[in-house]
Amino acid sequence: MSTDPDTLSATLSALADPTRRAILARLSQGSATVNELAEPFAMSLPAVSRHLKVLESAGLISRGREAQWRPCRLETAPLQQVDGWLGTYRRFWDGSFDRMEAYLQELTAPRAQGKKQ
Amino acid sequence: MSTDPDTLSATLSALADPTRRAILARLSQGSATVNELAEPFAMSLPAVSRHLKVLESAGLISRGREAQWRPCRLETAPLQQVDGWLGTYRRFWDGSFDRMEAYLQELTAPRAQGKKQ
């Protein structure tokens, strides 16, 4: 899995669309053909194909070799890269940040009180 | 925190840029002014301001009221929403998917074998 920031940008950009995220959600249930993917969206096949191209170039899906069906399959490596990137921010909401903030306030409080006096 | 898909799209779109992610990384260390943010990027203040506007409209940063300084501050609610969305895919790489796949293969194996005979 590449850690090139542009790979991450391409992934995030591809994910920044509700239809493309819905396609990934469908593929998380199993592989599907373009026709199967188009059905629930009441969308033209060319429109779905355009979304699939964006997902494919971001590495979020791969497509089968069979010329007629070319089933689409979810590829999770780019999502895992997003997950890794988010990891550095997770401390802000998993509780460890509150503890760190309390600690920092404790450290800086005496100086702030000194200024007021 | 809104669960509107367009909010999520706006967040992902704002994050799909290495400079904006670097600004967030800097702000995760503490609030900073536009000047402080511009420094490490060797970027013009207007260029940094444009990035800050994108981050602000996605709710990823907030800005102080003081006209001269307007320090920028990281807001993590949108990141938490991305984290929540990613959660449904985490089973693919946290090991639970392998177990599910093995279970599904077990379920479907007898039928597949039946067809072959």
ipTM here: 0.78
Q: Which letter, b or e, does each residue of B24-51 get, where b requires 16 or more Cβ atoms within 10 Å of its Cβ?
A: bebbeeebbbbebbbeeeebeeeebeeb
A5, A89, A92: residue with CB nearest B18: A5
Instruction: Count residue pairs from A and B with Cβ separation < 8 A.
Output: 72
Least confident residue range of B4-13, B18-27, B73-82? B4-13
Q: Which residues of B75-99 are buried (b: 16+ CB within 10 A; e: fewer)?
A: bbebbbbbbebeeebeebeeeeeee
The two tokens of residue A37 are 């993917």
User: Mean per-residue pLDDT for A96-100?
Assistant: 64
- Give the DSSP H/E element, type plus range, for residue B62: strand B61-63
**So what's the pLDDT on residue B1?**
44
pLDDT level of residue A28 (50, 70, 90 thresholds): very high
- Dump the DSSP string for A22-81: HHHHHHTT--B-HHHHHGGGT--HHHHHHHHHHHHHTTSEEE-S-TTT--EEE--HHHHH
Q: What is the pTM of this model?
A: 0.78
Closest residue in B to A77 (Cα–Cα): B93
- Residue numbers in A near B85 (CB within 8 A): 21
Lowest-pLDDT choice from A77-81, A110-114, B45-49: A110-114
B114 vs B22, residue with greater confidence: B22
pLDDT band of residue A67 (cuts 50, 70, 90) is: low
Nearest to B16 among A9, A24, A76 (CB): A9
In chain B, which residue's Cα lies nearest the Cα of A3? B18
Residue A1 banded pLDDT, cuts 50, 70, 90: very low
Per-residue model confidence as pLDDT tens digits over B71-92:
999 999 999 999 999 999 998 8
Position B44 pLDDT exceeds 50:
yes
pLDDT of residue B115 exceeding 60: no
Please state, rounded to an integer, the average pLDDT across all residues of chain A. 84
Interface list for B 12-71 with A (CB within 8 A): 12-13, 15-18, 21, 24-25, 28
Q: What are phi and psi of B43, to 5 degrees?
A: -125, 150
A5 and B CB contact within 8 Å: yes
Q: Could you give the percent of chain A with pLDDT greater than 90?
A: 58
At residue A69, the pLDDT reads 77
